[in-house]
Structure 1
């Protein structure tokens, strides 16, 4: 076993869940069940607002959706630390996913 000088050698291969949140909407179950193929759900976020990037449910950054070839990607605009400190970031590619939170 070899350790990297940055101290993260032991944990680099741990799987984490990356979530990109476009917005939220609180709905009654009957309204969710009534959704169809052409339904629209208005979210609580504007189109030009940054998206939240979460790792294991904790927000770590804000970003924006960009097209990269024929896939979607997320450009990290700012990193969010535990103390609320933000800094500029780089690009991070993620497959889009949709989760319903109640």
Structure 2
């Protein structure tokens, strides 16, 4: 007979945050993509302080949030105590 390796007491299959404790210290790479653009290397080399780069997004449009190069959420840029931050507005379900 196989042992029940599910540690929850009621056998409901539900997990708590404590069940994930083993992965809390695993580092991941978080990337927030404000937008993208393409340009020739010659134009890139001519850039200087104050150069404006036009991106493919509009002001107020949702930004993409990636964890380890996988799209996980969309969000908005926020200003908190003079620093830029991101607030998640939509979680992308794996599919």
Regarding TM over 0.5, the answer is yes
Structure 2: give runs of 5+ residues left out of the alignment.
1-14
**Other structure's SS at 1:77 match:** strand
1:22 aligns with 2:34: yes
Counterparts in 2 of 1:33 and 1:8: CA distance versus 1, 3 Å: same
**Other structure's SS at 2:23 match:** coil
TM-score (norm 2): 0.77
Q: How many pairs align?
A: 80
List 4+ stretches of structure 1 deviating above 2 A.
Answer: 4-7
1:64 alignment partner in structure 2: 76
Larger Rg: 2
**Counterpart-to-counterpart distance in 1, 2:82 and 2:61:** 23
**Other structure's SS at 2:27 match:** coil
1:81 alignment partner in structure 2: 93
Shift of 1:38: 2.1
RMSD: 1.5
Structure 1: give runs of 5+ residues left out of the alignment.
84-102
2:4 alignment partner in structure 1: none
Structure with greater helix share of residues: 2
TM-score (norm 1): 0.72
